Amino acid sequence: MARRGCGTWRELLAGRARKRKSAFGSGAELQEAALRLLDQHQNLNDFLLEVQDPVKPAGKDGAEHQEAPSESFLVSVLQEQASRLGVPTAILAAKNVVTSIERICQASASPSTVPLLNMDQRKRLSSLLQSIKDLLASNVFSRSFFCQEMWKMKDPPVLEAVWQLYRGDIIGLGQLLESNPSAPAAVEWLCSGLCGLCEQAVESSGDMELAGHVLSDFAIMFLQNGFQQNLELGMKLEFKKVPNVCHAVLQRMLTWVLDAVGKEKQEDVSMLRARRFWLNVFSVSLYNSAVHPDSLQQFFRHTLIEVLTYNPLLKVSDAIHMQKEWSFTRTCSLLTTLFRKLFVAFSAKESICQLQQVLETHEVNWQHVLSCVSTLAVCHAEAEQLFKDLLSHLLIKAFGNYDVENMITAFLIARQAALEGPAVFMPYSKWFKASFGNAGGHHTSSKKALVFLFEFLSELVPFEPAPYLKVHIMYPPFVPAKHRSVLLEYITLAKTRLDDLKVAIEDMGLYEDLSSTDESVQPQGQALHDVEKALQIFENTRKIPTSVIEASIFRRRYYTSRFLPALLRPRVLPKTPDVHMAFIDSLKRADKIPSNLYSTYMQACGAMKKKMLQDGSQAGTSHSKEPVEQLKADLDELRVLIVEQAKHEDVLAQIAVVSDRLARVFCHSGDESEDTAFRSPIQIDISAPRLEASHQSVVDLLLTSFCQNLIAASYFNPPDRQGPCLSLFVKMMCGHRNLLPSLLGRLCQLIYHQGPSLNNAHILGLAAFVVHLSESRALIPEVQANFGISQPVPAKLLSLPEFWNCLLECRTEESFAFCMRFCTAAVSYFMCKFSSCSHEDLCALLPPSLVKKLQYIVPRLSLEARGILCKEAKTDLLWNSLSHPSLNYRRASLCLWKQARFQELLKEEAFQLSFREWLLLELEVYSEKDILSASERQDFYYWAIYQWYLPAPSASGGCDGDLEKACGIIINTILDSSQRLDPGICSRSKTSVNPGIFCKLQEMVLELGCRQRLLSDCTRHFLLEILQERLKDRKPGSALGEQLWRQQELLLHRRILVELPASTLIMPCQKGKKTVLDCEDFFRFVNSELKNVCSRGYALSYDITSHFFRGLLNASLGCNKFAEAINDVLTACQTKCPILLLSAALWWPNLEPVLFSQWKRLFGVPLAEELERLRELKSSATSFLSSGVDFSPSEPPWISAAFLHCAVQQQSPRGQEREALKRLGADTQQLLVSLLFFSLMDLISAKIAPKEGVDFQTSLEWSLEILQCLEERDASWPLLFHSAEKDSRQYCVLRSAASDHHIRLLPLAFYSLTPGFHHKLLIREQTFLYVALDFYIQLLQLFVEGKDLPWPDQVGQSPDPTEHGDLLEVISTARRFLLGVIPQCPAQSFGNIQVLLATCEELDPELGATLLHILRPAAAMEMEEELVLF
């Protein structure tokens, strides 16, 4: 044989001739002999495999030198042999090549034929291909004959051998297939080879790449020939068999894949991998420009139809029963992968249109159709709306033609899409309500349509799973009243089906969420959710929820077997009773918990506590780590897809896998039902958010995954080119309702509690997460925030943007810095992520609270931002500034501030930070921990108030240049801020207000006061108008919460009035040519409001009293006759506002030096007459008590009584009061009665305000001393309490001066005096019985209502019977007193009690009967006689 590197035969022979002497006579003889030898032994097949075409290196002249062509010998041999055989050389060459190929293919060591060659076979075939190319170059090779001979081989050729022939341009695959006389045989050979190719590819990683190339070339050929366009058909008419062969192969291979669907668990893993390898032919990128786009579309459309209509054996009833197993994550991965690859060639709309067309024209495989629906819903974000449109179209057609097929199709699609969760599609219950739950549904157009719907639903009943039947029962279709029987028949049928399924409608939860159709949720899980919801309602209302009461009566089975066991699960009871214990106690008192069950519960709780003490710690719930580890692996795989910039549909599919895993994790990690009601607010304890350890680990995994995905995606592209994957990832999380409380609680921990300690990467990741969470806020319920303080009223429900606003506080230097960093990162990310959105879309997506925080912080920290500077900044530059390692957030925030698009947002009303909102934020700042110094803060206030908000129009949150309006906003905001339930605010004093803000308020009030003095006709007191306006709509006494709010509000009003200049309380005005002081508005405010927050009952606090008198002196400076003006005001006080004079009497020791010092500074002349009179009254009372000087009451006597009473209270030591009372003159009855009134007020104050220092027993003794003195003088003191008598009008001024609360508690004080009531009083005072009976009725009413009595929790300590008295004992004492004195009262005493009789009989029938017996003795006697006769 010839060897590599040998020369021509002539050279070989010549060389041998030189070695030995030739036996031949001549060279011609020698040549002839050699040729005969070759003819006898030559092997053309070996020649074809061994002949090479070596090329020598270039010579000096640069030209390549080729050795003498060896193929000339091969050709000559072929020609010689062909001539001798009488056949064409090309035919002979083709035949020998086929033989060589056959030998190469048979040389495999494998017992069975494999589609790929081994290394030796591949090497030999490569040599053969070179020889064939040489033969083709010499035009001595017949392709057509070669193709025919190939199919005559004993065994079909190996697939790779044919592919190598194609790749070497020897033959075309189409030409080879066309030459096969049997198309079925060609199909069989191709399918067998392709299946083997897929199997060999997944078994050996070394063959994977080569198998991929082989498969792609065959796939291209299949599409080029099997799905030709018109132009191609004209060019390739010579191929008649090939299109059918290609179609058949693709169909067989698709069947090979689809046969494995549904048998995934039974199939060998390698076989599934082999089928998955074949799915590479559906990769659009495989074909690029090799296949006409229309051909590609045709192929994918054809495949989709084939998949949807493959083996349509399942019935609709099977689909109804089994469709839950066909969700995206439960469907065979082969099928979902195939669908995802097919959908790449179409838009979501085209895919759904194709699905609709198939449903209308073909008999379908429901498993494949519904799996297609799930895949579309998961992998296409816009599919939700398209499916809604499709469902609407199907319902219109169904009711238009009364077509059951369209109806069932609509129901199956709606249910299937809903299985993917609310983040993908609306829950089935919501769709059913929207479609049939209102009068506008298609079924309400006629009775026929209504009957059609219920006949359809009735036909489904035998196959329906229980959750769907529950939806139909709980959210029934709208039915007119006259057709109600149709609905009732269906409900009866559905309940019967539920009974067959052993699912009683009575076992449905009280607050069951029917938006999910997960049958795995057990009744115990739903009962736990019902308990949680009932506890929420009970905590807010302190009443047993109506639904629980109704269940205990009408749903007794569920209540006793499900609800109570869930409520009474044993636990370690807390030392201080919590809401859970209070709820159980309420049910126990209402006889809603059997005694034996309650006893068992308490014993179990005790046993659990004992076990916990023995173990040293309470055993936590064990959680399986396996699901969490699997979730972590799924999240890692998601990150890999994002890092590798995988296809969009691959990422979405992995998100769906994560969603399914997350559902499994929460099923394992908690006892609660998976169905958390969407409408139930999420409870978050802002002050101390608590998370279960297992839940926190899952949330941390998700947040970490999001941040890592964001960083990975941002490494390659800015946010606007990252696609919607992160949005869909967060939306998927929002679809898991049980996750949301833990997720928001963890965000509260990170943002509110740990924010300043987070680094830039953490902040950027959390900010982006918050942006995407806000994007999906429609899926998130409201948040019920608990601030960790006592709340008299339920906390307000917060929307998600309000929740962010609550977490992002600005109070200290650290919180300011964090808030600026977070909001800058969030808004910058948002502006970059949604840079292509319209202005309207931006406004709809962006949480306003983030923008408003920036509006507050950036100008506060940056002088440059206080000007009007904006320029266009590119969003990618904005993003680069955030992702730069040396991030400077102040510079980044200023860059964002200057961006023109951000400034455009600030023009929208929703994003404008109003003056009130700015003030609320500023009032939260801790001045001592502020990021600004005091001087910087004052500069900022001046800019913000006078340069920004005061001149700004009200449409943009300003004041329209109106100083009075600005003052009103400041005052209202201060009050609102002080009333807010906020842990940071509540930790400080409610009455402490930012001094800088108050300073500006004082400036503005003074400026307004100067302006009002210039306007002689101005009589409005705008400050009091503002305060009274806030109280106008509030109804005092309507509820405890409202009472507490009003009390706190009035205390704040008083604080504000005291902080403002004293002269603002009094309005100077012109009366002719005379300037007078107008106090009418202030008098009305004191009489209606301020007196009700004075704990002494008859006197205001010292601060407001002193403020009024100092303001009076200041205001009188503007009067021509200042002393006269002061006298007029104080004289008016006697009738219009007596409490001011009583307050002066109480606080005179403190008030006197202040006023006289001020008088001396301002006027330097003798005191005004009325002030001097007050001083004299105080001096006279003190002298009367200390030195025995006579005490002459002035007019009116109650003023003198007030000074005397206060002097007695301030005297130390005490004990001379009785002697002093005896020294009073005979004409001092009114003085003594007034003293009695003040002492009774102190008696009440001792009960309701013990911190005021008034001793109850001392006050009681003083009251009894006064009463005894009055009795000794036969004074008509009961007139003090009888407002209806003419003679009692002299005491009306006293009652008008007292607080409403003290007046309502006056019966309590009255009956504390019973030891001083003498028998002669009953005869002397005809009104006494009326007063005593009226007060007794009032006492009973107070006790029944319970809102005004001094309960121990109001006074802050436990009641002491010796000091405060027992309330019930007071009532008993009053009752015994009345029952004892009524028979002794003269007839004249009963003249005016008729009006009280009915109320008395209602509240105390026995006492009422006694009164009735005395009022009508004759009638009573007749009644007794009749009874005896009878």
* Dist CA 947 CA 968 (whole Å): 18
Mean pLDDT of 953-982: 86
- Nearest CA to 177 out of 114, 108, 249, 118 is that of 249
Residue position matching structure tokens 């929790």: 1353
- Distance in angstroms between the alpha carbons of the first and the last residue of the chain: 152
Phi-psi region of 203 (alpha: psi -120 to 50; beta: other; left: phi over 0): alpha
* Dist CA 221 CA 941 (whole Å): 77
Percent of the chain with pLDDT over 70: 81
How many CB atoms are closer than 10 A to CB 1382? 20
> 279, 257 in Cβ contact below 8 A?
yes
**Residue 1345 pLDDT level (bands cut at 50, 70, 90):** confident
Residue position matching structure tokens 């399942």: 314
* Dist CA 1292 CA 1233 (whole Å): 12
Angle at 425 between CA 421 and CA 430, to 5 degrees: 95
Ranges 398-412, 637-651, 952-966, 1044-1058: which has the least confidence: 637-651
Ranges 80-94, 164-178, 438-452: which has the least confidence: 80-94
Give the pLDDT score at 255: 92
The count of residues in the chain is 1430
Tokens of 1195: 């007019």
Mean pLDDT of 931-945: 91
Prior bond of 1193 cis (ω within 30°): no
Phi and psi angles of residue 783, each rounded to the nearest 5 degrees, phi first: -110, 130
- Nearest CA to 847 out of 861, 826, 821 is that of 826
> 328, 336 in Cβ contact below 8 A?
yes
Phi and psi angles of residue 414, each rounded to the nearest 5 degrees, phi first: -60, -40
**Residue 1141 pLDDT level (bands cut at 50, 70, 90):** very high
Mean pLDDT over the full length of the chain: 80
Q: How many CA atoms lie within 13 A of 1092 on its CB side?
A: 20
Q: Is the dihedral of CA 430, 434, 439, 441 positive or negative?
A: negative
Comparing 15 with 310, the larger pLDDT belongs to: 310
Query: Bridge partners of 1070?
Result: 1075
How many CB atoms are closer than 10 A to CB 826? 28
Give the pLDDT score at 1167: 87
Phi and psi angles of residue 1071, each rounded to the nearest 5 degrees, phi first: -125, 90
> 422, 736 in Cβ contact below 8 A?
no
Residue 78 CB contacts under 8 Å (≥ 6 apart), including other chains: 44, 89, 92, 93, 96, 135, 140
Mean pLDDT of 421-439: 88
**Residue 646 pLDDT level (bands cut at 50, 70, 90):** low
Question: pLDDT (tens digit, 9 = 90+) per residue, 213-231?
Answer: 999 999 999 998 888 765 4
* Dist CA 654 CA 196 (whole Å): 30
Q: What is the pTM of this model?
A: 0.71
> 754, 443 in Cβ contact below 8 A?
no
* Dist CA 529 CA 830 (whole Å): 37
Tell me how far the alpha carbon of residue 1153 is from its chain's centroid: 60
**Residue 106 pLDDT level (bands cut at 50, 70, 90):** confident
Mean pLDDT of 102-119: 74
> 990, 978 in Cβ contact below 8 A?
yes
Mean pLDDT of 1029-1057: 77
* Dist CA 866 CA 858 (whole Å): 8
Give the pLDDT score at 1019: 59
Give the pLDDT score at 289: 81
> 503, 466 in Cβ contact below 8 A?
yes
> 281, 219 in Cβ contact below 8 A?
yes
Angle at 489 between CA 485 and CA 492, to 5 degrees: 135
**Residue 396 pLDDT level (bands cut at 50, 70, 90):** very high
* Dist CA 70 CA 155 (whole Å): 32
Question: pLDDT (tens digit, 9 = 90+) per residue, 316-363?
Answer: 888 888 888 898 888 888 898 899 889 888 989 999 999 999 999 999
Comparing 546 with 613, the larger pLDDT belongs to: 546
Mean pLDDT of 448-453: 93
Question: pLDDT (tens digit, 9 = 90+) per residue, 1348-1391?
Answer: 555 443 333 333 433 334 667 888 888 888 888 888 888 877 87
Q: b vs e for 208-239, b when ≥16 Cβ sit within 10 Å of the residue's Cβ?
A: eebbeebbbbbbbbbbbbbbbeeeeeeebeeb
**Residue 37 pLDDT level (bands cut at 50, 70, 90):** low
How many CB atoms are closer than 10 A to CB 87? 12
Give burial (CB, 10 Å; 0-12/13-18/19+) of 312. Answer: middle
Give burial (CB, 10 Å; 0-12/13-18/19+) of 838. Answer: exposed
- Fill in the DSSP letter of residue 899: B
Phi-psi region of 645 (alpha: psi -120 to 50; beta: other; left: phi over 0): left
Mean pLDDT of 1208-1231: 74
Comparing 983 with 1417, the larger pLDDT belongs to: 1417
Tokens of 95: 């035949």
* Dist CA 950 CA 940 (whole Å): 14
Question: pLDDT (tens digit, 9 = 90+) per residue, 696-727?
Answer: 889 999 999 999 888 888 877 888 888 888 88
How many CB atoms are closer than 10 A to CB 1385? 18
Instruction: Of 525-529, 572-576, 962-966, 1217-1221, give the range with the top mean pLDDT.
Output: 962-966
* Dist CA 806 CA 155 (whole Å): 79
Give the pLDDT score at 676: 38
Question: pLDDT (tens digit, 9 = 90+) per residue, 54-87?
Answer: 444 444 344 444 444 444 566 777 777 777 777 8
Task: Give me the amino acid identity at 1089.
Answer: E
**Residue 7 pLDDT level (bands cut at 50, 70, 90):** very low
Tokens of 718: 């800015």
**Residue 1424 pLDDT level (bands cut at 50, 70, 90):** very low
Residue 313 CB contacts under 8 Å (≥ 6 apart), including other chains: 365
Prior bond of 594 cis (ω within 30°): no
Determine the 3-state secondary structure of 682 from DSSP.
strand
Q: How many CA atoms lie within 13 A of 394 on its CB side?
A: 25
* Dist CA 476 CA 444 (whole Å): 13
Tell whether the model's pLDDT for residue 593 goes beyond 70.
Answer: yes
Determine the 3-state secondary structure of 458 from DSSP.
helix
* Dist CA 829 CA 817 (whole Å): 18
* Dist CA 245 CA 185 (whole Å): 10
> 157, 104 in Cβ contact below 8 A?
no
**Residue 879 pLDDT level (bands cut at 50, 70, 90):** low
Mean pLDDT of 522-546: 73
Tokens of 832: 């970059």
Query: Bridge partners of 55?
Result: 66
Question: pLDDT (tens digit, 9 = 90+) per residue, 1285-1331?
Answer: 544 566 788 888 888 888 888 888 888 888 888 777 877 888 888 88
How many CB atoms are closer than 10 A to CB 1084? 15
* Dist CA 1029 CA 673 (whole Å): 48
Give burial (CB, 10 Å; 0-12/13-18/19+) of 409. Answer: buried
Tell whether the model's pLDDT for residue 236 goes beyond 50.
Answer: no
Determine the 3-state secondary structure of 601 from DSSP.
helix
> 267, 200 in Cβ contact below 8 A?
no
Residue position matching structure tokens 């089906």: 497
- Nearest CA to 660 out of 434, 333, 362 is that of 333
Task: Give me the amino acid identity at 396.
Answer: I
Tell whether the model's pLDDT for residue 865 goes beyond 60.
Answer: yes
CA distances from 1000 to 164, 764, 1003, 1038 (A): 91, 38, 5, 36
Mean pLDDT of 786-814: 78
